[in-house]
């Protein structure tokens, strides 16, 4: 996917270098294409979640980073934000030290401030981790929310959506995936929270304009198939 999709997409956007690459956790669907990205572009730094450098899944990513001389940093709650020319990236999770459950639960969660807007990227965390972030008083406010764990019904609790207060949510999930994401429970909670949900399986690539008001485009065109949720209706 890195070679066939991500690198060509970045090239089409005119991107020739990356100030920062984030690997949320070591599951293949979140890091599998990263070696190709690191090999193809100039990358200033790579962030991994705190305590995850020894995860087996990260071995090819670390090998590619070493070969290209890319600094690898572990980041999590309490670490200083990265202040880049146009944006600020603040790590919110995982905590340093101790075991906090599965790889999903140890996902690198970051908030990004850009153009007067705030985006929240929570990886594959689920309800228990969301509750820990809420209890810890993390600043979760965002205009745009990447829906955790591809729109799993076990993520994005009502309390989480209320605390984030986003206007737009994006789920990365195939149209007819075997897990049926984004799941119906999540979609009902999103509707109750007045969150406009876009997802890649139905809408294709999603582009968000961060002006006022927010503007969102989907580039997938109409979908035809057995599930009405897979038809673009924008």
pLDDT for res 224: 41
Min mean pLDDT across 101-105, 107-111, 206-210 is at: 101-105
* Sequential DSSP letters for the chain: -IIIIIHHHHHHTT--EES-EE---SSHHHHTTHHHHHHHSEES-EEEETT-TT-GGGHHHHHHHHHHT--EEEE-TTPPPEE-SSEEEEEEESPSSS--SSTTTT--EEEEEETTEEEEE-TT--HHHHHHHHHTT-----SEEEPGGGG-TTSS-HHHHHHH--SEEEE---TT-TT-SSPHHHHHHHHHTT-EEEEHHHH-SEEEE-SSS-EEEE-S----SS-GGGS---
Rounded mean pLDDT, 136-164 = 96
Reported as a single tens digit per residue, the pLDDT across 169-205 is 999 998 876 778 899 999 999 999 999 999 999 898 8
pTM over 0.85: yes
For the chain, which residues make up each domain, given as ranges?
A: 1-75, 76-220
CATH of domain 76-220: 3.60.15.10
Reported as a single tens digit per residue, the pLDDT across 2-32 is 999 999 999 999 999 999 999 999 999 999 9
Rounded mean pLDDT, 83-106 = 88
């Amino acid at each position: 996917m890195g070679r066939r999709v991500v690198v060509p997409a970045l090239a089409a956007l005119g991107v020739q270098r990356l100030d920062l690459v984030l690997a949320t956790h070591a599951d293949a669907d979140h890091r599998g294409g990263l070696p190709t990205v690191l090999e193809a572009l100039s990358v200033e730094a790579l962030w991994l979640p705190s305590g995850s450098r020894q995860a087996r899944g990260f071995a090819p990513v670390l090998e590619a980073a070493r070969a290209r001389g890319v600094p690898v940093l572990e980041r999590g709650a309490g670490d200083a934000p990265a202040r880049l020319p146009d944006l600020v990236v603040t790590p919110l999770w995982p905590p340093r030290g101790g075991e906090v459950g599965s790889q999903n639960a140890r996902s690198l969660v970051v908030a990004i401030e850009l153009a007067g807007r705030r985006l929240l990227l929570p990886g594959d965390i689920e309800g228990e981790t969301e509750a820990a972030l809420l209890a810890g008083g993390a600043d979760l406010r965002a205009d745009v929310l990447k829906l955790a764990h591809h729109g799993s019904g076990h993520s994005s609790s009502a309390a989480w959506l209320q605390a984030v207060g986003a206007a737009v949510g994006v789920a990365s999930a195939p149209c007819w995936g075997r897990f049926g994401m984004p799941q119906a429970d999540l979609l009902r909670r999103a509707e109750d929270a007045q969150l406009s949900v876009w997802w890649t399986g139905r809408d294709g690539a999603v582009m968000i304009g961060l002006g006022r008001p927010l503007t969102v485009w989907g580039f997938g065109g109409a979908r035809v198939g057995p599930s009405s949720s897979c038809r673009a209706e924008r």
